[in-house]
A and B are shown apart, each in its own frame.
Chain A
Amino acid sequence: ETGVTQSPTHLIKTRGQQVTLRCSSQSGHNTVSWYQQALGQGPQFIFQYYREEENGRGNFPPRFSGLQFPNYSSELNVNALELDDSALYLCASSRTQSEQYFGPGTRLTVT
């Protein structure tokens, strides 16, 4: 059984640019959630996708957006990057709202 995978592993962007992060869910999972983890903090919920629709959103501005595809994989897009967006971005997959299994994350650095 393949676990959650994310790409890329590391990324460096300049303030004002846009970024797309990708996630493939674990086999049999139909729900994908995205989290932002700042250094030394617990993960913060960004949003969740179920059946290609957004199914709940945390306290993040509209420049954070996402997509889920028919194969349940997902993208996180962030526009107009700010220095504070530097963080580890985690994707988690689950069967509906049950236990969430995390990928290794994408480390984003904004300079």
Chain B
Amino acid sequence: GQQLNQSPQSMFIQEGEDVSMNCTSSSIFNTWLWYKQEPGEGPVLLIALYKAGELTSNGRLTAQFGITRKDSFLNISASIPSDVGIYFCAGTLIYNQGGKLIFGQGTELSVKP
């Protein structure tokens, strides 16, 4: 089935550092979304992307929809302790079946004060 390969699996960084994570696929995606999930909670939508090449920011977060439609990345600048959590990329395929979101495996971010 369709898969999203998300990397890295985990990151341990110092407060104030910038973070970069990405998702790739062999399939073409129609939309890309980035979510953050904290323990015991559901994923929270951070950024949604709808056009190839689109670059969108949300505060210290910036995400891009790859030109090939097969990848996306998320950057977090000047990380702070509350950035800790698991970040998921998700997307819908060009020939989507009923709004199905396909998720990556997640990137677990740890921030050391």
Contact = CB atoms under 8 A, between A and B. Distances in A.
A56 B88 contact: no
Q: How large is the interface on B (under 10, 10 to 19, 20 to 34, 35 or more residues)?
A: 20 to 34
Interface of B is mostly: loop
A42 B105 contact: yes
Nearest to A58: B100
Interface of A is mostly: strand
Interface stretch (B37-45, B56-64, B73-81): B37-45
Interface in B15-69: 33, 35, 40-45, 48
B113 interface: no
A91 to B, nearest CB: 8
A13 B41 CA distance: 21
B99 A31 contact: yes
28 contacts: A35-B101, A41-B106, A42-B103, A42-B105, A43-B43, A43-B88, A43-B90, A43-B103, A50-B99, A54-B98, A55-B98, A55-B99, A56-B96, A56-B98, A57-B97, A57-B98, A59-B1, A90-B42, A97-B98, A99-B33, A99-B48, A100-B33, A100-B99, A100-B101, A102-B35, A104-B40, A104-B41, A105-B42
Interface of B: 1, 4, 6, 33, 35, 40-45, 48, 88, 90, 92, 96-106
